[in-house]
Amino acid sequence: MSSADPRKQSYEINKRRKKLRRLTARAIDDFEMLVPGDRIMVCLSGGKDSYSLLDLLLSLKETGDLDCEIIGVNLDQKQPDYPEEVLPAYLETLGIEYHILEKDTYSLVKKHIGEGQTMCSLCSRLRRGNLYNFAREIGATKIALGHHREDIIETLFLNMFFGGTLKAMAPKLKSDDGQFMLIRPLAYCKEKDVARYAEDRAFPIIPCNLCGSQENLQRQAMKQMLRDWDEQFPGRSENIFRALQNTVPSHLADHKLFDFKGLSIAEEEFDSAPASSLRKTTPLKVLQG
């Protein structure tokens, strides 16, 4: 059977869909992202990830695995050459509630960011503010974002390399103002699987580089680093993500997270410890004394 055989292609497409559905459902269950009756605002950028998120959530709803309302929301930030007709035309075919917010944050960002500087930080803050306000207006109980596994890993390294913090993107997170719960149902999904799925479904993708600043992002360097690693050391990304789920605070160095000062060996434990163990601890006791 050749690789172009329609039956084999259909099988592979269905296999990918089932895999992503399973991983999305597992993430929702593992982190208790949703409860029956939730009103989910799915943030749509027009990229492969948010399209896939909406499609998979709708699929889970259709099969009775989700008992929630799903609302698609896109923020049109008035970037030059933005094809504003694409998302409404697509969402009309789905027959779901959707909203297109028109906010000219692009002009505001350009006004405050100098030539050649990265606009993403200010742009993101403005986008979040507008989306949070709208979520409040429509009574959304959850805000769903299309970040996948690689987004989470990239954020981990960005924070380590440039922020001096050991944190990534949480699959479930309370917003800074405490009013909303943000969820990332694609947290277990690989980017390459999501990309193939978007091709399978022929989503009308909107380019992500309309503002012209994307190529300068440090995130692109992180993406390339992970790609190189995966080519040289298959499975490394899986292990990195697994490590995020298996942290050991006592073996890190954050004294706010673990009580190192209160850590001690009780006298009775010391008296009953094997001789070999005592020999190992003696140099430390001498140094501390």
Query: Which DSSP string corresponds to 165-225?
Result: ------SEEE-TTSS-EEE-TTTTS-HHHHHHHHHHHT--PPPS-TTS-GGG-HHHHHHHH
Q: What is the pLDDT confidence band of residue 179, given thresholds at 50, 70 and 90?
A: confident
Q: What strands, in cross-sheet order, belong to the sheet with 97-102?
A: 97-102, 69-76, 39-44, 142-144, 181-183, 172-174
DSSP SS3 for 122 = helix
The answer to whether 194 touches 48, Cβ cutoff 8 Å, is: yes
Rounded to the nearest integer, the mean pLDDT of the chain is 86
> How many Å apart are CA 199 and CA 287, to the nearest integer?
62
Q: What are residue 256's phi and psi, to 5 degrees? A: -80, -20
Q: How many CA atoms lie within 13 A of 159 on its CB side?
A: 11
Locus of tokens 């913090």: 165
Give the tokens for residue 185: 């149902």
Percent of the chain residues topping a pLDDT of 70 = 82
Least confident of 67-76, 97-106, 239-248, 264-273: 264-273
Cβ-proximal residues to 19 (8 Å cutoff; 6+ apart), any chain: 193
* pLDDT above 90 for 117: no
Q: What is the pLDDT of residue 271?
A: 62
Tens digits of per-residue pLDDT, 229-272?
999 999 999 999 999 999 999 999 999 999 999 998 876 655 66
The answer to whether 175 touches 76, Cβ cutoff 8 Å, is: no
Tens digits of per-residue pLDDT, 9-45?
888 999 999 999 999 999 999 999 999 999 999 999 9
Domains of the chain plus CATH, in order, are 6-217 (3.40.50.620), 260-288 (no CATH)
What's this model's pTM, rounded to 2 decimal places?
0.84
The answer to whether 82 touches 237, Cβ cutoff 8 Å, is: no
Q: What is the pLDDT of residue 9?
A: 86
The beta-carbon contacts of 240-246 under 8 Å, at least 24 apart in sequence, are 240/153, 240/156, 241/149, 241/152, 241/153, 244/152, 244/153, 244/156, 244/168
Mean pLDDT of 199-219: 75
Q: What are residue 217's phi and psi, to 5 degrees? A: -70, 140
